[in-house]
Amino acid sequence: MELGVTGTIFLMVCVTFFLYTVTWRRKVKSKNFPPGPPTLPYLGTVLHVSTTEMPQSLVKLSKQYGPVLTIFVGNSPMVILVGYDCVKEALVEHSDVFSARGNTFFAHAVFKDYGIVLSNDERWKLLRRFSLTTLRDFGMGKRSIAERIQEEAQFLVERFRNNGENLFDPSDSLRLAVSNVICSIVFGERFDYEDKKFTTLLSLLQEMFSLLTSAWGILLHLFPKVSTYIPGPHKKVFVILDKLKEFIHQALDDHKKTIDVNCPRDFIDSFLIKMEEEREKPDTEFHFENLFGTVIDLFSAGTETTSTTLKNALLILLKYPDVARKMQEEIDNVIGQSRCPALEDRTSMPYTDAVIHEIQRFADIVPLGIPHAASKDTIFRGYNIPKNAIVSPLLTSVLKDPKYFKQPEKFDPSHFLDENGQFKNNEAFLPFSIGKRSCLGEGLARMELFLILTSILQKLNLKSNKAPEDLDVTPQPGTNGNMARTYQLYVEPR
């Protein structure tokens, strides 16, 4: 039976694709990359990696291929690091190789390699150093920032109390409170919770974060060139970025009118002063694009992650009311009811400190971590990793490493308590990552979590209309483990 012209062409295409696939796989194998699932030209390993539950699919693959494995994003290798030992070895012991930031679609197409989190080389070093110095100048780690958080915590407690015994979703209130702390540093002021400009800024940031961590966001990352031509919700990322730039431009113009170069009020003033000092330098890094990228980094690192952690925290405390009661007993014994919680109280409150650490570990809100890259061709654990290859530390595998946590899938504050009930650190506690690229806002986030949670529990009892056993503290399905489930609560004054 004759195939005909169409059948012959189809057969030739199939044979050609098969031969190309076999040849390409042999070429990949000959390069001695870390092992991984079967890969196809152009498609990579997309058939073996979920775009909606990516962290867990990678953990599952590691059980078959080991703690260093390779997936392919199109034709480009991405090395996945699994477990605390492997992540520490790469990011600390080989920090000279793995401290570069991966040149992902987000870094290049969305953020143009500007800012701190996704930039590299001298730009990253310069902006990180400037930002840390400026934050310290405005009180990061000092009492003045703690006082701002204390003040904001009281506004939040009052907002909760005003709901009376009516059920409410705490998400927006938590985001408003945490964002106001960042606003006081970046813009020099806090906003009323009903302020239109403030709520618009936060809604834009939240929508962008949700899009970038959704299945569409993962597709943008896996197929950057193709997905930009495909219609879908991911296209809105660029619209949101334009609106955010307008907001920062307006803030910049307002600051220029009132700035006192001898007395900077906030981060934007400090950046403007540096821009003026270096305006004659053709290669200066102090320009609007880097200011915009850095401000977005500060809000992303200091707002969405902390507010999401707090949202998880309240749900967990509703699920485990005995834990909340023990925290309140410690608060009453150490702080009492007559003054606000202070950062200095933390060392006298081992149980509360352990619970907050366990909340961060269990919530696991950045399970995929932020991609790194190899700065040069290197051999790691016997495998070749080429220069510029994306290297991704899988933080969920660190925070839930059974070698370091006896019940990794269970919420258990004893992970951070010794036999005498005193706080015990755990080296695998890395919610802020590790090494030179660890989170810029770690100190601020730790202060906020302690002061806000203790302020809430000092004045309020958390209540739910559901029985504890009916509350689900696992992440929202289909969100790559990033988003807490929606829930409601009500409060009773203590």
DSSP string, 445-460: HHHHHHHHHHHHHHHE
| Of 62, 138, 51, 115, residue with least CA distance to 301 | 115
Determine the pLDDT at residue 30: 46
Mean pLDDT for all residues in the chain: 86
- For the chain, how many residues are written? 494
Q: In the structure encoding, which two tokens stand for residue 24, read together?
A: 């390409």
Determine the pLDDT at residue 296: 83
Side chain identity at 319, as an amino acid letter? Answer: K
pLDDT tens-digit map of 48-73: 888 788 899 999 999 999 999 999 87
- Of residues 405 and 237, which shows the higher confidence score? 405
Determine the pLDDT at residue 1: 44
Determine the pLDDT at residue 441: 84
Q: What is the mean pLDDT of residues 184-205?
A: 87
Q: What is the mean pLDDT of residues 406-412?
A: 95
- Of residues 452 and 244, which shows the higher confidence score? 452
Per-residue pLDDT band at 265 (split at 50, 70, 90) = confident
- At 405, phi and psi to the nearest 5? -130, 120
Determine the pLDDT at residue 221: 62
By CB atoms closer than 10 A (0-12, 13-18, 19+), residue 295 is buried
Determine the pLDDT at residue 19: 47
Give the CA dihedral 274, 280, 281, 283, nearest 10 degrees: 90
Most confidently predicted of 11-15, 273-277, 283-287, 411-415: 411-415
Percent of the chain with pLDDT over 90: 49
Does the structure show a pLDDT above 70 at 29? no
8 Å CB contact between 64 and 235: no
Q: Which residue has the tokens 């950057």?
A: 224
Per-residue pLDDT band at 245 (split at 50, 70, 90) = confident
31-493 CATH, one of 3.20.20.10, 1.10.630.10, 1.10.238.10, 1.10.8.590 = 1.10.630.10
Strand 76-82 relative to strand 390-394: parallel, antiparallel, unpaired? parallel
CA–CA separation, 144 and 142 (whole Å): 6
Q: Where are the beta strands (DSSP E) in 159-297?
A: none
Beta-carbon contacts of 29 under 8 Å, excluding residues fewer than 6 positions away, are: none
Q: 115-124, 169-178, 372-381 — which is least confidently predicted?
A: 115-124
Sign of CA pseudo-dihedral 214, 215, 219, 222: positive
Q: 227-236, 318-327, 411-420 — which is least confidently predicted?
A: 227-236
Does the structure show a pLDDT above 50 at 92? yes
- Of residues 417 and 263, which shows the higher confidence score? 417
Q: What is the mean pLDDT of residues 249-263?
A: 89
Determine the pLDDT at residue 187: 86
Determine the pLDDT at residue 42: 64
Q: Which residue has the tokens 């907050």?
A: 356
Q: How far is CA 363 from CA 3, 55, 254, 338, in A?
A: 58, 13, 39, 32
Determine the pLDDT at residue 469: 95
CA–CA separation, 429 and 401 (whole Å): 10
Boundaries of every domain in the chain: 1-28, 31-493
| Of 378, 400, 376, residue with least CA distance to 34 | 378
8 Å CB contact between 427 and 126: no
8 Å CB contact between 94 and 375: no
Determine the pLDDT at residue 315: 97
Determine the pLDDT at residue 453: 98
| Of 119, 132, 184, 125, residue with least CA distance to 155 | 184
CA–CA separation, 224 and 234 (whole Å): 11
Determine the pLDDT at residue 133: 86
Q: 106-115, 141-150, 163-172, 278-287 — which is least confidently predicted?
A: 106-115
